[in-house]
Structure formats: structure tokens, C-alpha cells
Amino acid sequence: MSMTLTDPTLLRADLHIDGQWLAPAGRPRFAVTDPATGAVVADVVKGNADDARAAIAAADAALPAWRARPAKERSQILRRWHDLIMANLEDLAQLLTAEQGKPIAEARGEIAYGAAFYDWFADEARRIYGDVIPSYAADRRLFAIRQPIGVCAAITPWNFPMAMIPRKAAPALAAGCTMVLKPASATPLSALALAELGARAGLPAGVFNVVPGGAAEVGDVLATHPTVRKLTFTGSTEVGRTLMARASATIKKVSLELGGNAPVIVFDDADLDAAIAGTIATKFRNMGQTCVCANRIYVQAGIHDRFVAALAAAVAAMKVGNGVDDGVNQGPLIDMAAVEKCEAHVSDALAKGARIVTGGARHALGGSYFAPTVLADATEDMLIAAEETFGPVAPVFKFATEAEAVERANATEYGLAAYFFTTDAARIWRVGEALEYGIIGINTGATSYEGAPFGGWKESGIGREGGRTGIEEFLETKYLCMAGIAPLA
Ligand code: SIN
């Protein structure tokens, strides 16, 4: 392992259950590899169904005391967790880049973004208000209070491990819930380091448990166990659908942050520089491996050729390499399957009439590197228009009118994020209202913020994370109806 951590104890490779680090004798381990080099970063204990059940039991046992803690105390622990993450940012960034591949500058940004959820929800913990309801009878008083839903399970993805875990754990714990987390097997080290810092921040044993392992063993127990009252998942629509079906037997509350097929619309009146910068930000962040990534870039006829030329020039200038190296802004993809998907989308597009403006193939560095790519003359019959590429391939489609652009942008079963670029104020309102998406970037390709609701319409998901609404997902409402209150004598 080439990375050197200031605090080597942040590199954890065991299960984290009931406040203990566990490596049961004879238990298999799985290798976490650096996508840039193929080197093994750590061998992590492979959790199984019994471990998942033990973690659920620990979370259940910890629940009464945690939800009884005054909100102010829960808030203080979350804020300490935030502070510890920020104090260890450089080590965490090294870990994240080593297991995930993203450029180190992006890793630092992700860690600060993730920590901000603890800061935000430390405040929200103290603002879980109820209602006093005007009564329908003279002797009755009516109230609604909001209480933690109970033991929560989280299944998180490999693309933003340092942000997606806090986006779920911070509101859950702020609400008074306890949690069992199954991190993606490609990136469990971020989750385990976060658990270590959570323990140092003062989380009681059992409040936050981490069980790396397979979907069939660990994930399925989390989705079906009757003690788990809430399942929160970020990942593909396909897996989300399966988890929702599995969770339905015990009528769990579910939050699903699923796939996207984000359109970018560039109108003739757009500021070209802003449109290029925004398109690069949304398309090439994390090498195109984000759910909110631009997948289809619609450009109006009058600005089309200038846009394609400027985008291709910017993309061709990107520095591809190991994310820890200076100036690199495109690292390797997570694995070879990701490379093969990019290749399949490019070759299908070429066969149907697209042309490569830059890139278009595996990068000369080999491994899971793919050259940042711009395709022109894309059309809706191509795979790339219908499926999320999840890689650094930017297909450009030409359009004529505003109505046509909106119709084509909405013609998908997904509805996570959309972006458009225009300087016309009336169009901003019209198009902003007409797009059927949960997140709209207007003259920007970067919208994510801990204080704003993140989530999708249609098959992109259920529920919202972050912001004022994020904590609602972890609360139940209880109506109290008090009778027999005699009037003043
Ligand atoms: C995602 O793509 O999964 C999350 C990206 C973000 O929060 O900005």
C-alpha cells in the first residue's frame, strides 16, 4: 500500500458491531483494491447474515437510550463527529482516493460535503417540532408529536462513500434512530473510518454499526428483518426495485436514491463559457460516475457547433491519471465493467450515426482508465440516450425549439437531475417548471448542498435526503388525543 496515513488507526478492516471491532476466527476476507494501480489497499472481513442479525440486535438494544438522550446531546455528538472528520480530512482523502479512484481534490471536497451533513443535522436534531391541533370538542386537547422510527438500515454506494453515508446516518441519528450500514464492497474503508471517528465523537455502542459483505447475505437481512423499521438505499433503480419488494413484506418505510438519465439543455441565448463549465462539472465529476451526471446534452442549433468545439477542447485538455498525482482531474473508473459499459455505449452510438469529437476509447494508461469523450450527432435510438453511462462520455444532441427540448428531456422513466443554460428570465421559469426532475441546475452543473433536498421523481426514487425534509424520513408521527378535560368550574 503506497498511502501513508498520519493516523494509521483510521484504516479499519473489521466489522463494527456494538462498539466492537470484530474479526471472527476463520472468517473470509475480501480485497479492497486501488482502481489506479490494482494494488490491494486492505483485506476486509466479509460479514455474513449472522453478523447482520447481530448488528440489528445491537442497534435495537442501543435504541431506547439513544432516543431518550436530549436532542441537545445527540446534536453535540454529531457536531464532534463533523469536527473529527474535518480534522482528519487529509487521511480520509487518501483513503477515499485509494479505494475509489477519484482525484484527491475531489476526495477532499467530498469529505467536507459529507461532514457538512453532520453539522446540518446536528442543528436539525433540536428542531423536531410537533403540532398542537385545534380541538373538535370542548373537553379534548389534540397533539401530534414526532418520534424516531426505530432501527434503520442503510445500503450505500461506492461512488461517494464519504458523503452518502453521512447523508443517511446524520439525519437518522439526529432523529434518535440507530443504524446498521452495509457499505459497497468496493469502498468499505471510508465507512469503517467514519465509524471509528463516530466512536471517538462519543457515539454509544450499537448506535452506528457497519457490516461490509455481500448483497445476498447482509443486504437481504437488512431489507427483510422485522426489527428494521426503515431502509435507506442509494444505488441503481434495478437494485432499488428489488430492495423495495423485499422490504414490503414487513412494510418498512423506504427511501431510495436511484439512477438518473440527466439532460443538460443549452439554449442559443446561453452564456457559452458558463454552459461549458457547467456541463464539464456535471458530466465529468468523479469521471462521470454520479447519479446526477449529465447523460444527454441537448444543444440548440444556433450555438451547437461552437458548443461542441469548445466542449471538445476542454475535454481533450483534461489530465488523466492516478488521482493522487498533481493536476489529475480524471482518475480510473471503478472497475473493468464500467469501462466495458462506456465502450458499449460508444460503439452502439457510432453504429447509429454518432461521431467522435474527442476520446472514444480506453485510455493509453490501460487498466480501468477511459479517455474523456465527446460524441456529436447523438440520437434517441442510441443506448446512450436511454441508459445511464456512468462514465466520462458526453453525447451531444441537436434541437430546434424550447418545447422540443423539454419534451425530449422528459422522455425517460428517470427524474433525478436536469440542467439548463439560458439568460432568458421567462424561460428559466417555464423550463424550470416543465422539467420532471427532483433537482434542477439553472446555469450551473453543481447543485449539491447539505441544506437542500436531494432526490428524484419517477423511477429515480422515493424520499428526499438533506435539507429540512431529510430528517422527516426517519420520524414517525404520533397523534395524541386527550379527553375528559373539564371546563373551569
Ligand atoms: C450521487 O450521485 O450519488 C450523489 C451526488 C451528490 O450528492 O452530489
- By three-state DSSP, how is residue 132 classified? strand
* Residue of 196, 257, 402, 450 marked active site: 257
Cβ–ligand 1 distance for 162 under 6 Å, the answer no
Question: What pLDDT was estimated at residue 489?
Answer: 87
Cβ–ligand 1 distance for 286 under 6 Å, the answer no
* Cα–Cα nearest to 274, from 446, 430, 61: 446
Residue ranges, the chain, pLDDT below 50: 1
Neighbours of 336 (CB within 10 A): 12
Q: Which atom of ligand 1 is nearest to the CA of 257?
A: 3
Please tell me the residue having the least CA distance from ligand 1 atom 7. 448
* Cα–Cα nearest to 468, from 125, 179, 55: 125
C-alpha cell at 56: 440489528
Q: Where are any strands of DSSP class E within 359-434? A: 373-376, 393-399, 414-415, 417-421
Give the integer Cα–Cα distance in Å for 166 and 188. 14
Give the integer Cα–Cα distance in Å for 244 and 448. 25
Neighbours of 33 (CB within 10 A): 17
Cβ–ligand 1 distance for 291 under 6 Å, the answer yes
C-alpha cell at 22: 470484530
Residue 112, C-beta contacts closer than 8 angstroms, at least 6 positions apart: 86, 89
Rg of the chain, C-alpha, whole Å = 24
Question: Counting beta carbons within 10 angstroms of the beta carbon of residue 21, is it exposed (0 to 12), middle (13 to 18) or buried (19 or more)?
Answer: middle
Report in angstroms the alpha-carbon separations of 440 from 38, 71, 273, 388, 437.
37, 33, 19, 18, 7
Give the integer Cα–Cα distance in Å for 298 and 307. 11
Cβ–ligand 1 distance for 88 under 6 Å, the answer no
Q: Which atom of ligand 1 is nearest to the CA of 292?
A: 2
* Cα–Cα nearest to 17, from 55, 66, 57, 62: 55
Phi-psi region of 52 (alpha: psi -120 to 50; beta: other; left: phi over 0): alpha
Question: What pLDDT was estimated at residue 2?
Answer: 64
Q: Give rounded-to-5 percent helix, strand, coil for the chain.
A: 40, 25, 35
* Residue of 99, 110, 196, 291 marked active site: 291
- Is the separation of the CB atoms in 51 and 213 below 8 Å? yes
Q: Where are any strands of DSSP class E within 364-488? A: 373-376, 393-399, 414-415, 417-421, 439-442, 457-458, 461-462, 475-482
Please tell me the residue having the least CA distance from ligand 1 atom 3. 291
Cβ–ligand 1 distance for 100 under 6 Å, the answer no
> Model pTM?
0.97
Give the integer Cα–Cα distance in Å for 308 and 357. 8
Give the Å distance between the CA of 291 and the centre of ligand 1: 6
Cβ–ligand 1 distance for 184 under 6 Å, the answer no
Question: What pLDDT was estimated at residue 1?
Answer: 47
- Is the separation of the CB atoms in 352 and 395 below 8 Å? no
Give the integer Cα–Cα distance in Å for 395 and 393. 6
Catalytic: 291? yes
Catalytic: 99? no
Neighbours of 99 (CB within 10 A): 25
What is the best residue among 292, 419, 439, 464 to mutate for testing ligand 1's pocket, by most ligand atoms within 8 Å of CB?
Answer: 292
